[in-house]
Amino acid sequence: AAAGPYTVAFAAFNTFFNLVTPDDQRRCLEGVFGLLAPGGVLVIEGFVPPEDGMTDGGVSVRDITSDAAVLTVSKHDPDAQVIRGHHIEMRVDGNRMRPWIVRYLTPEQLDASAAAVGFVRTSRWATWSGSPFNPSPPDGSDHPPTSSDVHVSVYQHPSG
- 79-119 residue pLDDT tens: 999 999 999 999 999 999 999 999 999 999 999 999 999 99
| pLDDT higher than threshold 90 for residue 138 | no
- Domain annotation for the chain: domains and CATH numbers: 6-49+104-156 (3.40.50.150), 58-101 (2.20.25.570)
- Say if residue 5's pLDDT is above 80: yes
**Residue 12 CA: distances (Å) to CA of 42, 106, 151:** 11, 16, 10
More confident residue, 44 or 159: 44
CA distance 43 to 41: 6
**pTM metric for this prediction:** 0.85
Longest dimension (CA), the chain: 60
Predicted confidence (pLDDT) per residue in 17-58, tens digit: 999 999 999 999 999 999 999 999 999 999 998 776 667 778
Give CA–CA dist 150/160, Å, rounded. Answer: 31
- Encode 121-160 in three state secondary structure: EEEEECCCCCCECCCCCCCCCCCCCCCCCEEEEEEECCCC
Q: What average pLDDT does this structure show over 140-155?
A: 75
Predicted local distance difference test score (pLDDT) of residue 142:
55
Three-state secondary-structure class, residue 46: strand
Q: Say which residues have a Cβ less than 8 Å from residue 124's Cβ, sequence separation at least 6.
A: 107, 133, 151, 152, 153, 154
Q: What pLDDT sits at residue 101?
A: 96
Residue 126 pLDDT exceeds 90:
yes
